[in-house]
C-alpha cells in the first residue's frame, strides 16, 4: 500500500474533539477579533452611520464561528453587542443608550450572531463527520485491500500492524492461539504487554467479548481487546492502545476498531481455509500418486512374473513333448522377463533410497570420459554397434562426483536415447564446462516429446507415449533427476532443432575438483 493512500483518521478525530472543547486561546481570539472589528469601525466612523457597523460585528461573529467554534462565536456576539453599544452608539463610551431603537439592534445583532454561529458550526461538524466517515471507509478499504493481497499469516499480520498504526496512530498487538496457548503473534514496536494484559486477552478470547478500556470488563486497563470472531470459533484477539481513547468520542472509535477486527477475522479465516484447502489438495494428490504407484508397481512386478511362471509351468508340464527350439524360445522369454523384473526392482530400490534421503554421495575425482565409457559398457550389447558420438573438450579436468550414481544417470539417459530413436540415427554425447559447472548433453534424433509434456518426463511413472514395444519402468528419469539433484545440479529435457530429444544435466563442480594434478 502506498503511504499517500491512507490519511490518518486520528488527527481528524482529535480536531473534532477540539471543536467541542474550545481552549482559552480560542476565547482570547474571539476577544481580539471583536477588538479588531471595533478598531476598524472606529476608522470608518466619520463616513458611516453606527447602524452599518452592526454588519462588521456580524462578520466577526461568522468568522469566529467558522474558525473558533460555537462558544467563542457566542462570546464574540456578546462582546460585539457590548463593544458596539460602548463605542459607537451615542452617547459614546457609555453603555447607556439614548435611542431605545438601538435596543432592538442589539437584540437582533446578538440573536443573529448566535443563529449564524450555530448554523456554521453545525455545517462544519457535518462536513467533518463526513470527512471522518470517508477516511474511516477508505482506511477500512485499504486494510481490506491489503489483507486480500496478503498471502499467508505472517504477511497478513504485518499488513494489519502497518495499516492500523498508520491510520489510527495507535499501538497494537494481535494474539493468536498457538498449541493451546494464546501468544502474541505480532505487535507494534515498543508496545509492552504485561501478564495481566495476556490474561485479559485470554478472557476476551474465551468469552468472545471485548474487554479493556471503555468496556464493561477490565475497564481499568489502558488497552482495548477485541476478539477476532469467525463463524464458529474465535481466531484470536486484537489489542489496541489508543493514546486518545480517554476523550469522549469513544463510540465512534469503537465502531472503527470493531470494523478493523471484522476485517482481520475475515482475512485470518480466509488464510486458514485456503491452507486447509491446500492441504486437502496435497493430500489428494499424494493419494492419487500413491495409487498410481501401487498400480504401476503391481503391474510391473506381476507381468514379468506371470510370463516367467507361465514359461516354467509350460516347460515343466510338457517337458517330454516340447521340441528343443520351442523350449529354448520359451526359456529366452522367461530370462528376458526376469531381467526386466530385476531392473524394475533395482529401480524401485534406487527410487526409495533417493526419496528416503538414504543416498550418500561417495564423491571422487572422476574422469568424464571414463564415466561415459562406463555408461556405454553395460549397454554395448543393446546398442549393437550403433553409432554413439562422444564430444568432449580436450582439457576437461577431473570433476568431483559420485561416479557410480552418475554412471547410472548416463546409462538411463543413453538407454532412453537408444530406445526412443531409430537405430540407424546416431546418439550424441556432449560435455562442456562453464561457470555453472559441468554440463552433459545426451541427444538423439527420435520423435522428441510434445512441448507440453517436456516438464513431466521426470515425473515418477511417466512414460513417453511412443513406439510400440518400448518398455520402461517409468522410473529411470525420476531416478536421474534425484541423483542429479543430490549432486546439487539440475536436469532438463528439450526438443532439438532438426528433431530429436536432448537431455541436459548440469552439476556444479567445486573448486577442489579443478585443482591441477602434478604427480605423474
Partner 1 sequence: MSTETGRENLPRILVVDDEVAIQRFLKTALDNGSYSLHQAADGHVALAAAAAVRPDVILLDLGLPDIDGVEVITRIREWSQVPIIVISVRERENDKVRAFDAGADDYLTKPFGIGELQARIKVALKRSLQQVPEPVFRIAELEVDLPRRRVTVQGKEVPLTPTEYELLRLLVSHAGKVLTHSMILKQIWGIGYLEQPHVLRVNISNLRRKIEADASRPRYILTEPGVGYRLKVDD
Sign of CA dihedral 203, 207, 211, 215: negative
- CB of residue 369 vs partner 1: minimum separation in angstroms? 6
Residues 6+ apart with CB under 8 A from 42: 87
Selection from 406, 408, 414 nearest residue 444 by Cα: 414
Q: Give CA–CA dist 189/171, Å, rounded.
A: 8
Q: Which is nearer to partner 1, 214 or 365 (CB)?
A: 365
Q: Which is nearer to partner 1, 329 or 364 (CB)?
A: 364
Q: Give CA–CA dist 25/37, Å, rounded.
A: 18
Tell me if 237 contacts partner 1 by CB under 8 A.
no
Considering only 12, 239, 334, 398, the residue that binds partner 1 (CB under 8 A) is 398
Considering only 21, 288, 370, 436, the residue that binds partner 1 (CB under 8 A) is 370
Query: 469: alpha, beta or left, given left = phi > 0 and alpha = psi -120 to 50?
Result: left
Q: Which is nearer to partner 1, 20 or 362 (CB)?
A: 362
Cell of 500: 530429436
Selection from 347, 333, 262, 369 nearest residue 301 by Cα: 347
∠34-35-38 over CA atoms, to 5°?
90
Span of 9-17, 138-146, 300-308, 334-342 interacting with partner 1 by CB under 8 A: 334-342
Considering only 123, 373, 455, 499, the residue that binds partner 1 (CB under 8 A) is 373
Tell me if 316 contacts partner 1 by CB under 8 A.
no
Tell me if 511 contacts partner 1 by CB under 8 A.
no
Q: How far is CA 300 from CA 136, 309, 471, 475, in A?
A: 66, 15, 10, 11
- CB of residue 378 vs partner 1: minimum separation in angstroms? 10
Selection from 270, 241, 236 nearest residue 257 by Cα: 241
Tell me if 519 contacts partner 1 by CB under 8 A.
yes
Q: Which is nearer to partner 1, 65 or 401 (CB)?
A: 401
Q: Which is nearer to partner 1, 168 or 407 (CB)?
A: 407
Q: Give CA–CA dist 29/412, Å, rounded.
A: 93
- CB of residue 375 vs partner 1: minimum separation in angstroms? 9
Span of 25-33, 65-73, 75-83, 358-366 interacting with partner 1 by CB under 8 A: 358-366
**Which x/- pattern, by CB under 8 A, does the window 403-422 give for partner 1?**
xx--x---------------
DSSP 432-452: EEETTEEEEEEE--S----GG
Q: Which is nearer to partner 1, 248 or 324 (CB)?
A: 324
Tell me if 520 contacts partner 1 by CB under 8 A.
yes
Residues 6+ apart with CB under 8 A from 50: 84, 88, 89, 90
Span of 251-259, 400-408, 449-457, 502-510 interacting with partner 1 by CB under 8 A: 400-408
Considering only 338, 433, 486, 504, the residue that binds partner 1 (CB under 8 A) is 338
- CB of residue 334 vs partner 1: minimum separation in angstroms? 12
Tell me if 305 contacts partner 1 by CB under 8 A.
no
Would you say 259 and 238 are in contact if contact means Cβ atoms under 8 Å apart? Answer: no
Tell me if 283 contacts partner 1 by CB under 8 A.
no
Residue with cell 482475512: 267
Q: Which is nearer to partner 1, 231 or 517 (CB)?
A: 517
- CB of residue 445 vs partner 1: minimum separation in angstroms? 20
Q: Which is nearer to partner 1, 182 or 388 (CB)?
A: 388
Selection from 265, 200, 258, 201 nearest residue 228 by Cα: 265
The residue count for the chain: 520
The DSSP symbol for 35 reads: H
Max Cα separation, the chain? 155
Cell of 106: 442589539
How many chain residues bind partner 1 (CB under 8 A)? Answer: 28
Tell me if 312 contacts partner 1 by CB under 8 A.
no
Q: Which is nearer to partner 1, 268 or 427 (CB)?
A: 427
Tell me if 376 contacts partner 1 by CB under 8 A.
yes
Span of 103-111, 180-188, 251-259, 398-406 interacting with partner 1 by CB under 8 A: 398-406
CA 4 vs. chain centroid, Å, equals 22
Q: Give CA–CA dist 123/227, Å, rounded.
A: 37
Considering only 280, 335, 422, 470, the residue that binds partner 1 (CB under 8 A) is 335
Would you say 493 and 503 are in contact if contact means Cβ atoms under 8 Å apart? Answer: yes
Considering only 369, 382, 436, 510, the residue that binds partner 1 (CB under 8 A) is 369
State the first-to-last Cα distance of the chain, in angstroms, to the nearest integer.
66
Tell me if 365 contacts partner 1 by CB under 8 A.
yes
Tell me if 436 contacts partner 1 by CB under 8 A.
no
Would you say 508 and 489 are in contact if contact means Cβ atoms under 8 Å apart? Answer: yes
| List of residues contacting partner 1 (CB under 8 A) | 335, 338, 342, 346, 362, 364-367, 369-370, 372-374, 376-377, 380, 390, 392, 398, 402-404, 407, 515, 517, 519-520
Amino acid at each position: 500500500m502506498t503511504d499517500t493512500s491512507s490519511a490518518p483518521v486520528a488527527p481528524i478525530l482529535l480536531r473534532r474533539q477540539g471543536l467541542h472543547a474550545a481552549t482559552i486561546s480560542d476565547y482570547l481570539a474571539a476577544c481580539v477579533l471583536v477588538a479588531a472589528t471595533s478598531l476598524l469601525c472606529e476608522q470608518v466612523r466619520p463616513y458611516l452611520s453606527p447602524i452599518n457597523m452592526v454588519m462588521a460585528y456580524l462578520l466577526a461573529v461568522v468568522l469566529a464561528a467558522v474558525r473558533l467554534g460555537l462558544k467563542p462565536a457566542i462570546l464574540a456576539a456578546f462582546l460585539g453587542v457590548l463593544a458596539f453599544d460602548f463605542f459607537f452608539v451615542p452617547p459614546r463610551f457609555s453603555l447607556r443608550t439614548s435611542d431605545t431603537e438601538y435596543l432592538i439592534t442589539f437584540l437582533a445583532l446578538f440573536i443573529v450572531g448566535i443563529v449564524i454561529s450555530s448554523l456554521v458550526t453545525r455545517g462544519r461538524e457535518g462536513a467533518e463527520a463526513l470527512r471522518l466517515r470517508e477516511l474511516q471507509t477508505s482506511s477500512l478499504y485499504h486494510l481490506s485491500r491489503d489483507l486480500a493481497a496478503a498471502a499467508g499469516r505472517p504477511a497478513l499480520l504485518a499488513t494489519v500492524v502497518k495499516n492500523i498504526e498508520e491510520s489510527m496512530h495507535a499501538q497494537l498487538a494481535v494474539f493468536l492461539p498457538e498449541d493451546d496457548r494464546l501468544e502474541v503473534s505480532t505487535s507494534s514496536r515498543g508496545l509492552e504487554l504485561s501478564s495481566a494484559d495476556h490474561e485479559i486477552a485470554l478472557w476476551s478470547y474465551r468469552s468472545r467479548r471485548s474487554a479493556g478500556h471503555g468496556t464493561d470488563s477490565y475497564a481499568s486497563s489502558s488497552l482495548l481487546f477485541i476478539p477476532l470472531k469467525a463463524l464458529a470459533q474465535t481466531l484470536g484477539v486484537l489489542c489496541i492502545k489508543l493514546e486518545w481513547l480517554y476523550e469522549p468520542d469513544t463510540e465512534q472509535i469503537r465502531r472503527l476498531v470493531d470494523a478493523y477486527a471484522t476485517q482481520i477475522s475475515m482475512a485470518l479465516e480466509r488464510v486458514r481455509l485456503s491452507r486447509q484447502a491446500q492441504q486437502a489438495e496435497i493430500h489428494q494428490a499424494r493419494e492419487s500418486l500413491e495409487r498410481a504407484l501401487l498400480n504401476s508397481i503391481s503391474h510391473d512386478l506381476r507381468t514379468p512374473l506371470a510370463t516367467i511362471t507361465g514359461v516354467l509351468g509350460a516347460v515343466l508340464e510338457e517337458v517330454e513333448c516340447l521340441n528343443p527350439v520351442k523350449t529354448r524360445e520359451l526359456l529366452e522369454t522367461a530370462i528376458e522377463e526376469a531381467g526386466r523384473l530385476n531392473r524394475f526392482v533395482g529401480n524401485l530400490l534406487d527410487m526409495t533410497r533417493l526419496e528416503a534421503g538414504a543416498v550418500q554421495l561417495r564423491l571422487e575425482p572422476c574422469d568424464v570420459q571414463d564415466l561415459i565409457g562406463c555408461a556405454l559398457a553395460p549397454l554395448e550389447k543393446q546398442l549393437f554397434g550403433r553409432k554413439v558420438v562422444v564430444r568432449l573438450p580436450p582439457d576437461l579436468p577431473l570433476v568431483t562426483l559420485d561416479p557410480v550414481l552418475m554412471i547410472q544417470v548416463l546409462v538411463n539417459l543413453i538407454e532412453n536415447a537408444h530406445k526412443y530413436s531409430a537405430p540407424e540415427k546416431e546418439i550424441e554425447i556432449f560435455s562442456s564446462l562453464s561457470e555453472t559447472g559441468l554440463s552433459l548433453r545426451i541427444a538423439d534424433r527420435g520423435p522428441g516429446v510434445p512441448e507440453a509434456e517436456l516438464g513431466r518426463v521426470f515425473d515418477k511413472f511417466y512414460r513417453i507415449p511412443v513406439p510400440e514395444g518400448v518398455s520402461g519402468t517409468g522410473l529411470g528419469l525420476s531416478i536421474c533427476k534425484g541423483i542429479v539433484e543430490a549432486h546439487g545440479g539440475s536436469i532438463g529435457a528439450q526438443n532439438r532443432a532438426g528433431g530429436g530429444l536432448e537431455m541436459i544435466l548440469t552439476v556444479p563442480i567445486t573448486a577442489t575438483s579443478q585443482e591441477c594434478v602434478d604427480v605423474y
